[in-house]
Amino acid sequence: SSTELKVTQQLPPSITVRELSSLNLNCGLEPPPDYIIWSFAQAGQPLGNLIRCQPAKGTCGNVDETQTAFANVSVSATPNGSLLVHRVGQGQSGRYQCQGLLRLQSVRTETLVNVHEILLTGDIRSAKIIKWLTETFDRFGNPDVLVSDNGSSFVSTEMKNFLASRDIRHDCVPLYEPRRNGKVEVFNRTLKHAAQTFEADKRSFEEGMQQVICSYRTTPNEDGDSPARLLLGRDIRTKFQPRKLEIEKPIAEELKSCDSSDPKATGAGTSTRQHFKLGDMVRIRLPHVPKGKSPFTSPFLIQEVLGRFTYRLDNGKVWTARNLVPFRPAQASTVDIDLEPTTRVQHPQARRSVAPTLPSVTANSSQPVAGSNLRLLCSTSGGNPAPSLTWQIRTNGGSGFESVEADSTKGAPVTPFGQVTSQLTLTQLRAEYNRAVVRCLATNPVANLSSPDYVLNVLYLPVVTAVPSLAIELGAEVAIECSATGNPEPTVRLENSAGEILSAVSPLRVRYRLTAHQPSQSGTYRCVGDNRLGASNASFAIDIQYGPKVSGPGTVTARSGDQLTIQCSADANPAAPSNSVVWTHLSSGRSKSDVGATLVIRKVDRSDAGVWRCRFANTLTPSSGPPVQRDGAADTTVIVEYPPGLPATSAAERQLIRGQNVTVVCVANAESPGVPSPRFRWTKSGSLFESAGPTLALANVSLSDSGVYFCTPSNAAGHGPTTSISLDVEQAPEWLEPQPRETKSASVSDSKDFRLVCTARAKPEASFAWYKDGKLIPAEWFSVETSSIPHRKLPEFSRHPTNQRSAQAEDNGRYLCEASNRRGKISARIPLVVEFKPQIAPVETKIAKPEGTSVDFTCPVLAQPRPTITWQLVLPTGETKRVDTSARFESDSAIPYRYLSHLERVPDLGIYTCLATNRLGSAQINFRVLAPTVPDPPTELRVTSSGWDFVTLSWSTAFSGGSPVQYWSRVLTKDRATGQVRTSTRRCDTSTLTNITGLLPGTNYTIQSNYSTAISQVTASLSLPKPANVELTEDGTKLSITLQQTADYCLRIESSDDSGTSWSLYQYCLAIEDSTSIISGINKNLLYRVSVCLTAREEVCVTNLPQVQTSTIIAVGASCSVVIIVLVSVLTYFCCKRPKTYKEMDQLATTSQ
Q: Where in the chain is the domain with CATH 3.30.420.10?
A: 126-232
> What is the C-alpha to C-alpha distance for residues 398 and 323, in angstroms, rounded to an integer?
42
Tell me the pLDDT tens digit for each residue of 890-944. 887 777 788 888 888 888 888 888 899 998 889 988 888 888 888 877 777 888 8
Give the three-state DSSP class for 377. Answer: strand
Measure the N-to-C terminal CA separation of the chain; round to a whole number of Å: 115
Within 10 Å of residue 573's Cβ, how many Cβ atoms? 19
Closest CA to 612 of 580, 579, 564: 564
Domain 126-232 has CATH 3.40.50.620: no
Domain 353-458 has CATH 3.40.50.1100: no
Q: What is the pLDDT of residue 637?
A: 92
Residue 202 has φ and ψ, to the nearest 5°, of 65, 35
**Sign of the CA dihedral with 692 first, then 695, 698, and 699 last:** negative
Q: What is the pLDDT of residue 201?
A: 65
CATH fold group of domain 841-930: Immunoglobulin-like (2.60.40)
> What is the C-alpha to C-alpha distance for residues 1059 and 512, in angstroms, rounded to an integer?
130
Q: What is the pLDDT of residue 934?
A: 83
Q: Are 499 and 526 in contact (CB under 8 A)?
A: no
**Sign of the CA dihedral with 869 first, then 874, 875, and 876 last:** negative
Domain 736-834 has CATH 3.40.250.10: no
Domain 1029-1118 has CATH 1.10.3470: no
Torsion of CA 285, 287, 292, 294, to 10 degrees: -10
- Let me know if 314 is exposed, middle or buried by CB neighbors in 10 A (0-12, 13-18, 19+): middle
> What is the C-alpha to C-alpha distance for residues 945 and 994, in angstroms, rounded to an integer?
11
> What is the C-alpha to C-alpha distance for residues 68 and 653, in angstroms, rounded to an integer?
52
User: Which ranges of the chain have pLDDT less than 50?
Assistant: 1-2, 105-111, 244-271, 330-350, 410-414, 741-744, 746, 748-751, 788, 790-804, 1104-1153
Angle between helices 182-200 and 205-218 (to 10 degrees): 120
CATH fold group of domain 552-641: Immunoglobulin-like (2.60.40)
Residue 330 has φ and ψ, to the nearest 5°, of -70, 160
Residue type, 445: P
Architecture of domain 460-533: Sandwich (2.60)
Q: Where in the chain is the domain with CATH 2.30.30.140?
A: 253-348
CATH fold group of domain 1-109: Immunoglobulin-like (2.60.40)
Q: Where in the chain is the domain with CATH 2.60.40.10?
A: 1-109, 353-458, 460-533, 552-641, 736-834, 841-930, 939-1019+1130-1152
Rg (CA), the chain: 68
Which residues, at least 6 apart from 574, have a Cβ–Cβ distance to it below 8 Å?
545, 618, 619, 620
Within 10 Å of residue 391's Cβ, how many Cβ atoms? 22
> What is the C-alpha to C-alpha distance for residues 93 and 89, in angstroms, rounded to an integer?
7
CATH fold group of domain 253-348: SH3 type barrels. (2.30.30)
Tell me the pLDDT tens digit for each residue of 326-354. 876 533 323 332 333 333 334 344 456 78
> What is the C-alpha to C-alpha distance for residues 453 and 360, in angstroms, rounded to an integer?
9
CATH superfamily of domain region 939-1019+1130-1152: Immunoglobulins (2.60.40.10)
Q: What is the pLDDT of residue 273?
A: 62
Tell me the pLDDT tens digit for each residue of 1035-1088. 777 888 888 777 788 888 888 888 778 888 888 888 887 777 878 878 877 888
Closest CA to 969 of 990, 985, 980: 985
Torsion of CA 1094, 1099, 1101, 1104, to 10 degrees: 180
